[in-house]
Structure 1
């Protein structure tokens, strides 16, 4: 019988890093749903298409699948491994734009649900606990202040040698929060049965330890209730 952990939260909260680390510790399959939306965003970014009606009409042209090599998720867009192209700021903004479209979400949610049916998974995104896996065995809402999230992203980009502006990054994060929380279809929100974890003053290791502790104490026997 498979077990599922859903981690939702706003942009830059560290969901992917945390989920990936926990997956390795628990020997779960990590499903980075944000990467899947980034792949479709990349597809239309390359085409220079931003019109929502056109994107909804043509999103089936973007075939996105997940493969695993040495335990690491590889995102495949039309038979191309795009792991090295989907982490730019431009791809992130485009991902947020296409993710609000019902046709795009329906296309990817089917694949995400199938993965959860057959394997122990930890999945992160914006609407995992509320829409993709509403019956997930354990739900976490991971967040942090916009200032902290912007600083984390700034440090990541500086380490990559990219030029960036901290204030602009925070403005972009706040704008993405607004868009994700106010989209018509499956908006970002904390599920009623999810537990809130604010990582503003926590290290990555502390967040991982807290979530694994929750899993060990109240998650395994199915009695998790988000308290």
Structure 2
């Protein structure tokens, strides 16, 4: 059985960057589960019912070029609050996590719902202000004309929605390691995460 690593946290906390780095370091497959909800949100914006979109989701839908825009992010947060949509995507995520070679999954309920038995769980966070600054720079670099105040308001709204939903709310698993990246650069945050994985991953004979 391969090593499964669960990485959770709010938007723009750095969990995606950290997860990709961990996957590369340990030779594991990586799944940004947020892309599942973004893909469903994209199809919803195109007029499809969210549950129908979730049930029909294909791996190639995750490669669409427009999944990182703010309108899709907003739609993704809304469809993620729908219990039937989340249920439809559970099997996809668990099958990915169970692959023999091991996997890193990042999202908001990986350590609590999708992979509660994962031997390594991280919860990556940062202040809303720091996350808004990061997302604002990212959006500007992609050509989106937006104001920092708008991005901060959106970040806070998404946090409230993700943490307050009735089904699979965003929260740290009891045995997750908390990593606050507010005052960290990328290299420092990645190094800290890798060190935590090294300290907690099972020995090969026990995996």
Is TM-score (shorter-chain normalized) higher than 0.5? yes
In the other structure, the counterpart of 1:114 is 95
Alignment of 1:199-218 (within 5 A): 199-218=181-200
User: 1:64 aligned to 2:45?
Assistant: no
Distance 2:194 2:63 in 1: 30
Segments of 5+ residues of structure 1 without an aligned counterpart are: 67-75, 223-227
In the other structure, the counterpart of 2:107 is 125
Structure 1 runs of 4+ aligned residues shifted over 4 Å read none
- For 1:115-174, what per-residue CA distance to the aligned partner results, in whole angstroms no more than 9, with x for missing partners? 111231010001000001010110000000000000001111122232110011000000
In the other structure, the counterpart of 1:55 is 50
- Larger mean CA deviation between 205-214 and 143-152 belongs to 205-214
The answer on whether the counterparts of 1:12 and 1:150 sit within 8 Å (CA) in structure 2 is yes
- Give the alignment's TM-score, normalised by structure 2: 0.93
Secondary structure of the 1:7 match is strand
Greater share of helix residues, 1 or 2?
A: 2
Tell me how many residue pairs correspond in the alignment.
203
- For 1:59-100, what per-residue CA distance to the aligned partner results, in whole angstroms no more than 9, with x for missing partners? 45x52233xxxxxxxxx23xxx64311000010010010011
Distance 1:32 1:83 in 2: 14
Distance 2:145 2:151 in 1: 11
Secondary structure of the 1:136 match is coil
User: 1:138 aligned to 2:120?
Assistant: yes
- Give the alignment's TM-score, normalised by structure 1: 0.85
User: 1:16 aligned to 2:9?
Assistant: no
Distance 1:28 1:82, change over 3 A: closer
Segments of 5+ residues of structure 2 without an aligned counterpart are: none
Secondary structure of the 2:37 match is helix
In the other structure, the counterpart of 1:104 is 85
How far apart are residue 20 of structure 1 and its match? 1.1
User: 1:169 aligned to 2:164?
Assistant: no
